[in-house]
Amino acid sequence: MRFIHTADWHLGRSLYNISLIEDQAYVLNQLIDLTRDTQPALLIIAGDIYDRAIPSTDAVQLLDDTLSRLILGIGIPVLLIAGNHDNPQRLQFGARLLEKLKLHVFGALSERSFIQMYDEAGAVSFYAMPYAEPSLMREYLQNDQITNHDSGLRAWVNDLKAKPSFSSMTRPVLVGHAFVVGGEASDERPLSVGTAGTVSADCFDGFHYVALGHLHRPQSLANEKIHYSGSLLKYSFSEASHSKSVNLVEIDATGQCKVERIPFTAKRDVRYVEGTIAEILSGKVERGNLEDFVKVKLKYTGAILNAASKLREVYPNFSGIDYPTRTLETNSPLSKTDHINSDIATLFAAFYQEVTGQQLTSEQAAVFSSVVDKVRLQEREA
């Protein structure tokens, strides 16, 4: 049996106050094409469907259009769960009605926790565990021993395995939204303070494939049994090095899974450009797609006026500058200067040499002294 695993769409997300809805639609078109070409038995969306609990109308319309094309247009069933960004009740509105159209929505914890798909070898059970805070899990399971995400997830899995409906013979697959210990994070919203939001990999023992959301980098853990498909797009510069993809999974008659990551192409990339201002403005640094979200790692060569506005003329979606950090050496001009007894001109000259590696010229010193005099005059007259 073949199925597709995706997660963390974050529909309605913005980057530096620029809407990503068209970027998301661009990638979802690729997902729809992949689904049409591969004809999976099921498409899984493992949480964080929306970016906010109350999504924008554009986000709702995009989800409606995407699911309609997948289910009504291609005939592919979809299973989706709530993530920590989603509102469970809003997400699962009409879930019982939609189930008849092969849209299986699991927003909040409930006894209705799985679906089964069939191939020549029999059933594959897909168990849905939507995101829930430990307090909700404790109330739902009536278990006072649940104090954090790990104990909550562990109790939920144990409760699931104790039910007559659970059978290891049906090649069980778990769909969840969690931060597994050992996973590599980026800028995802933390599930809890410190390590209280993490769960152990052994919570998922007994499942043939664990389809998770929450971590935005595609990755696998626990001997390739636990998988994060990663997010739809790069949603921060901490993800600039990521390659975004979905998992195309083949599960055989014995429950062994073959996973292929199918890459996406973004409409606008999120990337760094490195060089001096002169190199970047002159085109000596390869520019790539000028519409990309670009942050500049600047090689400092002296004072720069209006650097951001100059860079924005080249990259309309310029997103900031990372200036080089300099460490203060023990024999540097600034470290040798008597900070208490030196006048402000001497301190500034030492600072300038420390930052630029060059000595302050007499003309620059004169300008600095003039500025200081004006400031002092204004202070006296205030």
- Could you tell me the CA-to-CA distances from 20 to 65, 66, 215, 240 in Å, in that order? 16, 16, 19, 16
Q: How much is the pLDDT for 322?
A: 86
How do the residues of the chain divide into helix, strand and coil, expressed in percent and rounded to 5?
Answer: 35, 25, 45
Q: How much is the pLDDT for 83?
A: 96
Q: Which residue has the tokens 């050992």?
A: 182
Residue 142 has, within 13 A of its CA and on its CB side, a CA count of 0
- Extents of the domains making up the chain: 2-263, 270-322, 333-381
CB 246 within 8 A of CB 3: no
Quick one: angle between helices 344-356 and 362-381, nearest 10? Answer: 130
| 3-state secondary structure (DSSP) of residue 260 | strand
Task: Classify domain 2-263 at the CATH topology level.
Answer: Purple Acid Phosphatase; chain A, domain 2 (3.60.21)
φ, ψ of residue 262 to 5 degrees: the values are -100, 115
In DSSP terms, 46 is beta-bridged to 81
Q: How much is the pLDDT for 277?
A: 86
How far apart CA 256 and CA 336 sit, in angstroms, is 66
CB atoms within 10 A of CB 256: 11
Q: How much is the pLDDT for 349?
A: 85
How far apart CA 186 and CA 238 sit, in angstroms, is 6
Q: How much is the pLDDT for 332?
A: 58
Q: How much is the pLDDT for 339?
A: 53
pLDDT in tens, the chain (382 residues): 999 999 999 999 999 999 999 999 999 999 999 999 999 999 999 999 999 999 999 999 999 999 999 999 999 999 999 999 999 999 999 999 999 999 999 999 998 889 999 999 999 999 999 999 999 999 999 999 999 999 999 999 999 999 988 888 899 999 999 999 888 887 666 664 444 588 999 999 999 999 999 999 999 998 889 999 999 999 999 999 999 999 999 999 999 999 999 999 999 999 999 998 888 888 888 889 999 999 999 887 666 778 888 899 999 999 998 877 655 555 555 555 555 556 788 888 888 877 676 888 988 888 988 888 788 777 766 5
Q: How much is the pLDDT for 263?
A: 97
Torsion over CA: 147, 152, 153, 157 (sign): positive
Q: Which residues are within 8 A (CB) of 75 and not within 5 positions of it... i.e. 6 or more apart? A: none
